[in-house]
Chains A and B, each alone.
Chain A
Amino acid sequence: MSRRRAVLGGRIALIAGAVAALEMLCRSGIVDPLTLLPPSGMAAAMVAVIASGSVTGDILRTFTTVAVAFGLAVAFGIAVGALLHAAPRLRRALDPLLASYYAVPLFVFYPLLVALFGLNVVPLIVLGFASATVAMAMSTLTGLDRTPRVLLKAARVHRLGRLRTALLVVLPAASPDLLTGVKLALAYAFIGIIAGEFILSGSGLGYQIAYAYDSFDNRTMYGLMLFVLLIATAANAALHAWEQRVRRRRSGR
């Protein structure tokens, strides 16, 4: 327990130290404060931009797009993972595709998706979905592979049907790896969609950051940048904490 506290303290000190160092660097003029806003300035700019209401529509749009892509990716990823686990021949055949999937910079397809579907939300959803779903499928496979066979035997001894075995035994047994998949899927969907908005779109948080950069509006740019980083980090930290709690229970620490 005390070790966990020491680690947590160290982590807080590390982050606080980094923020303080950045603040000093900007305030002392070593870095031009016009080039890089000090963290305090970024926070103030973030509050101001959000409070002004000028980006509320973009925030909602980005979050909705991410939610749709993420939801589809998780559902499809779990289904595909379960299918591939049940069909080893198909899984072996698809191995080269899975192994090189994330080696391809998927983002290069985004301009083509825009050409295919138009400059709207569809290419963003497709990009977010494609970035996220394979990670979910691979995590599902890992979880199913790791489920001890003896637990499935125990399910048969308790005369559970297929559905109950899946819900009461396989799902909880695989849940740590499924949570890892969910965490990755959310991060990848968010990264893909913000990037898509940034490079080529007409609305959304990514678009607003790029627009602010192009129009030399550094305060809006840094404010929104901080907002996106905070949201992504908070979501990741929440899922990470949940995952760790589940894993710790399993490992008895």
Chain B
Amino acid sequence: MSGAAAHARLTGVTRVYAGPTHVHALGPLDLDVARGEFLAVVGPSGCGKSTLLDVLAGLAAPSSGEAWFEDRRIAGTVPDGIGVVFQEDASFPWLTVADNVAFGLRRAGLDGAEIRRRVEDALGFMGLGEFARAYPAQLSGGMRQRVCIARTLVLAPRFILLDEPFGALDQQTRLLMGDELLRLWRRTGATVLLITHALDEAAMLADRVGVMSARPGRFIAFVPTGWPRDRDSRVVSAPEFGALTAQLWSHLRPESLRAMGQARA
């Protein structure tokens, strides 16, 4: 039984893009994500971080190896209980904020009162209450990303995957959104996997940071952060924070240099 201990697990996963160029994008790699853990994954650009997330979410099939979630093999479809937040704005521009958040609940066939209650709760939690009837285009990028997070949150996923969700936002908004994410993680008790290219973001938010090599991406180190569960963005002023990011960078620097060389070649 491959997935017994971990909430989600990858064993010997590779991803190869066939075709004339034949790009070996990922792996082989193994990964165990513990139930309730907040795991961040950092790596140089092009190392296959997003591919890793797609495999775990069931959006892409591995070329070899296996992906498991809650003791079931992930194959072809997104398993029940998984929520995904993307870097790009994935809000539906033709729906109001409230209808965006209700989208998944309506598909699940819940009754109207229950939908309304859960949508209101999610909107309130994400600070979107007064924008319920606005359209996404009327909101800032940060607020739109909140809509996407609320749309995921409202379905009560047990495993939340985030693919550079704050990559398009400014630094201050990112810090505040990080706090939101920690709050959400504590309240739901969900397992969280955050893909990011920002070392400080990974160091500030996660219980554990996985560092990936240049393409084809493999894990070269796992760095535990040691933060208490009840934390927020103010940890950036803790003395350990500097040491932590420095440690991550010492792992990552040679890989980033290699990645730049690959890009030039």
Contact = CB atoms under 8 A, between A and B. Distances in A.
Direct contact of A and B (CB under 8 A): yes
A252 B88 contact: no
B137 interface: yes
Interface in A135-186: 148, 150-151, 153-154, 156-160, 164, 169, 172-173, 175
Interface in A205-253: 246, 249-252
Determine the main DSSP class of B at the interface with A: loop
B94 A252 contact: no
Interface in B234-248: none
B226 interface: no
A156 B92 contact: no
A249 B88 CA distance: 19
Contacts of B89: 148, 150
B90 A153 contact: yes
B104 A158 contact: yes
Contact of B86 (A153, A169, A251): A153
A158 B94 contact: no
A169 B59 CA distance: 17
B104 A252 contact: no
Interface string B94-105: 110000000110
How big is chain B's contact interface, by range?
Answer: 20 to 34
A175 B139 CA distance: 21
Contacts of B104: 158
Most chain B beta-carbon contacts within 10 A, residue among A154, A160, A252: A154
A153 B92 CA distance: 12
Interface stretch (B25-33, B75-83, B187-195, B199-207): B75-83
B64 interface: no
Contacts of A252: 135-139
B255 to A, nearest CB: 27
A150 B88 contact: yes
Given A150-B89, A150-B90, A172-B92, A156 B137 contact: no
Contact of B90 (A151, A159, A175, A249): A151
Contacts of B93: 173, 249-250
Nearest to A252: B137
Contact of A153 (B59, B80, B82, B139): B59
Q: 3 shortest A-B CB distances, which residue pairs?
A: A252-B137, A150-B88, A172-B94
8 contacts: A151-B92, A154-B84, A154-B92, A158-B103, A164-B107, A249-B137, A250-B137, A252-B138
